[in-house]
Chain A
Amino acid sequence: MGMTLTPWAAPDPASHAPLGQLAGVMRTIPAALITTVDSTGIMHTRLLPNTNTDCHRELHFLAPGDMPIVAEVRKRPDVLVTFSRPGSDRFIVVHGSARIERDLDLVERLWHPAIASWFPAGEDEAALVVLTIAVDGVEVWD
């Protein structure tokens, strides 16, 4: 496969400059796989629409409030987010610790008509929560 960890993966939060290059890539990625661990140690991966354009400090995702991911994140905040670009072999893995926020202002800011089809409840934004992931490290694999 010839895959290498590119040197501009920056786990150091002090230097964000290399991550700026990711901004253009992140815009083209429609969805992200979020891996959590439940209380029995089994990993679960779910697909959520991408509402992020960069991965500097925090990632935000919208999720239905009754999704099992909410309970799992409360117990074990350590998560893994995988962005893979359609049609290419490049993918971005973000390590971080997640928390759940019930912030309607933030929900409205993140809401976009393009992601409406992801949530059957439609405009019922009150049922949505924000999954905020504080970024610990980013790996880019080509």
Chain B
Amino acid sequence: MAQAYEFAQRDEIQLPFGGIEGRASARTPNQAPVPGSGLRSPTLRLLGDDDDGVERKPGLWAGMVELGRWAAHALRVAMWATPTAGECLHADPSTLRGLIRTSRIALLTTRDRCGKLHTRPMAPTRRLFDGEIWFATPDADPLLDHVRARAPVQVTYLDRETNRSLVLNGVARVCQRATHGAGIAAMMPRRPKATAISFIRVDVMSADVWE
């Protein structure tokens, strides 16, 4: 209960946000906290120290951190989106995620060593979009050479229900293995040893929606 006691000692300190102040003023400042009776779980912590042995409501803080991360990313995506002409929409994150989720075709456009454009359909991954897109392809695919030679690529999602196209510009990289949760386990072949698979990771820089 050392943590809880220390928390109670800071009652007099004026803190810039209202939540902790309101909580502190609910108790009389001179009363020492009785071990085991109150203040068992500080729901708001000022310092990030996970190993303090204090029980707290699971997931609340982690959820808030996750929400903050998501909002920061959403802002980044919105600011990078570059509308170019009349029918081009600003791709806000919810539109973007919705289109990625519902589209059945993802076109990956690359340029070969000579600069010629190539495009081919890839199996879209069923994964919540967080700024990167993963594709899997056999090792012998010339697409991998294109990506190694010229990293800027384009991913186009065609949504046949709404007839909208989502155009994502990004930087691609060839990876030998996918990170956990890349969402491509579903499209792996039944016998992974039979064909060697490489992965392409696209870090999205800008998004346009055309309709």
A-B contacts, 21 listed (Cβ < 8 Å): A3-B121, A33-B167, A35-B117, A35-B119, A35-B154, A41-B111, A44-B169, A46-B88, A47-B87, A47-B88, A68-B84, A80-B109, A80-B119, A84-B105, A84-B165, A86-B163, A87-B163, A89-B105, A93-B119, A95-B116, A118-B86
Which B residues lie within 8 Å of A91 (CB)?
A: 105, 107, 158
Q: Does B210 contact A (CB under 8 A)?
A: yes
- The answer for the CA separation of A45 and B123 in the assembled complex, in Å, is 21
Q: Which residues of B contact A78 (CB under 8 A)?
A: 115-117
Contacting residues, chain B, for A3 (C-beta < 8 A): 121
Let me know if B34 is at the binding interface, CB within 8 A.
Answer: no
- In the complex the two chains form, is A89's CB within 8 Å of B117's CB? no
Q: What mask results when residues 65 to 106 of chain A are scored 1 for a CB within 8 Å of chain B, else 0? A: 001100000001011101010111101010100000000000
Query: Would B86 and A76 count as touching, CB distance under 8 A?
Result: no
B208 contacts partner chain A, Cβ-Cβ < 8 Å:
yes
Complex CA distance for A77 and B200, rounded to whole angstroms: 28
Q: Give min CB distance, B134 to chain A, whole Å.
A: 15
Interface size on B, residues (CB 8 A): 31
> Once bound together, how far apart are the Cα atoms of A67 and B85, in whole Å?
8
**11 more A-B residue pairs beyond the given contacts A33-B167, A79-B117, with a C-beta to C-beta distance below 8 A:** A1-B121, A3-B121, A35-B109, A37-B115, A45-B109, A45-B210, A46-B85, A46-B88, A47-B85, A84-B158, A87-B160
- Is A111 in the interface zone, CB < 8 Å from B? no
Q: Which residue of B lies closest to A136 (CB)?
A: B116
Cross-chain contact A141 with B121 (CB below 8 angstroms) = yes
**With A3-B121, A35-B154, A84-B165 given, is the CB distance from A118 to B115 under 8 Å?**
no
Chain A contacts of B210 at CB under 8 A?
33, 45-47
Give the A-binding residues of B (Cβ under 8 A).
84-88, 104-105, 107, 109, 111, 115-117, 119-121, 123, 150, 152-154, 156, 158, 160, 163, 165, 167, 169, 208, 210-211
Known: A35-B109, A43-B152. A95 touches B169 (CB 8 A): no
The number of chain A residues with a CB under 8 A from chain B is: 30
Cα distance, A78 to B158, chains bound together (Å): 22
Q: Which of A43, A67, A120 is B109 in contact with, Cβ under 8 Å?
A: A43
B165–A37 touching, CB < 8 Å: no
Q: Assess the B116–A43 pair: CB atoms within 8 A.
A: no
Which chain A positions have C-beta within 8 A of B163?
Answer: 86-87
B residues in contact with A44, CB < 8 Å: 84, 169
